[in-house]
A and B are shown apart, each in its own frame.
Chain A
Amino acid sequence: MAATLVSTLWIVAIGTSVVCFAIKYLGHVIPATWLSSPRFQRINEMVPVVLLAALVMTQTFTTKTHLVIDHRLAGLVTALVALRLRAPFPVVVISAAVVSAVVYHLH
């Protein structure tokens, strides 16, 4: 079981690296017209917004396929407040971690 998990993690690390590099390289070598469709550009512009929002939700409110509310919610709320106050990125992440850890220990 442990061996399976380790190789799974290698697959993710190497697979992600290969796919991400291939995408970057494609952008440098394919003819510009291939990706110039306005529809493709509009969708592509929205992809990070959608995926990052989805990741925030799943990383905060799910464990495997279950919806849960736990200490991580306190961290997310803290991060949002920090962003609202125009805090720099490290402050956002660290304050979220600290508040989440405090709530975890209080629980």
Chain B
Amino acid sequence: MTRPPRSTVRDSFSVSLAVGLYGIAFGAASSTAGFSLWQTCLFSLLAFTGASQFAAVGVVATGGTPLAAIATAGLLGTRNALYGLQMSPRLGVRGWRRVLAAHWTIDESTNVSLAQGSFGAEAVRAGFWLTGGGVYLFWNLFTFAGALGAKALGNPAAWGLDAAVPAAFVGLLWPRLADQFSRTVALFACCAALGFTPFLPAGTAIIATVIVAVLAGWRPRS
């Protein structure tokens, strides 16, 4: 591999570090939900997709069943399949490299990679691998730190950790609310989630709100 442009390396590194830092919030959230240090680290090592990880531990924290937790995480992860579709022809790898590429296919690696388009195919590949690997490294280190920290603190509510989880979700949601249509859809989803909650088993209200996404996307926007 030839040397990637310096700006690609810089973009990859800054995104990796900034995103990796969220790992502290995940480690703390997972720990607060009752997951052990090992289980928390396992999420970040093997699932490695932030929003899905937060969703799984969040559903457990509010008393949801394992199935509800896994299903919510899976639904949030479907966008990674579309990223894979985009990245696969650009990376052109087989065997274990393809397994690793799939594992590192997340919001950040895909977006940094595609943003390198004007610097050529080599920069696109470098952006993917550097960002994927960088986020993987920092995300796991900071998950470990966050889990250790939360274990040391004790009662999560006394330190505001129970409020840190919805704050993390709202932080992940915020950049997706750029247009009026998304904001309207989000508002309907909020109403649906609260409306379903008293009538469905814990954790399943979240999955039921997917109906809002189906209705919103069924027809092209006029």
List residues of chain A with CB under 8 Å of any chain B CB. 5-6, 8-21, 23-30, 32, 35, 38-39, 41-67, 71-72, 74-76, 78-80, 83, 88-90, 92-94, 96-102, 104-105
Contacts and interface: CB of A to CB of B under 8 A. Distances in A.
A23 B78 contact: yes
B61 to A, nearest CB: 7
Contact of B162 (A47, A61, A98, A100): A100
25 contacts: A15-B69, A16-B43, A17-B43, A24-B49, A24-B84, A27-B82, A29-B88, A30-B85, A43-B217, A46-B212, A48-B51, A49-B177, A50-B189, A50-B216, A51-B213, A54-B193, A55-B58, A58-B193, A62-B62, A89-B18, A89-B22, A90-B24, A93-B164, A94-B164, A99-B163
A60 B166 contact: yes
Given A51-B206, A80-B170, A44 B78 contact: yes
Interface string B160-178: 1111111111111110110
Interface stretch (B1-9, B33-41, B133-141): B33-41
A74 B163 contact: yes
Contacts of A54: 189-190, 192-193, 205-206, 209
Contacts of A52: 51, 76, 169-170, 172-173, 176, 186
Contact of A44 (B49, B197, B217): B217
B167 A93 contact: yes
Given A20-B47, A104-B160, A97 B167 contact: yes
| Closest 3 pairs (CB-CB, A-B) | A27-B84, A75-B163, A100-B163
Q: What range describes how many residues of B lie at the interface? A: 35 or more
B220 interface: yes
Interface string B8-44: 0000000000100110110000000011100100110
Contact of B46 (A17, A25, A43, A58): A17
Nearest to B44: A17
Nearest to B55: A55
B60 interface: yes
A41 B82 CA distance: 9
A16 B84 CA distance: 18
Given A58-B62, A67-B197, A105-B158, A97 B163 contact: yes
Nearest to A38: B220
Contacts of A94: 164
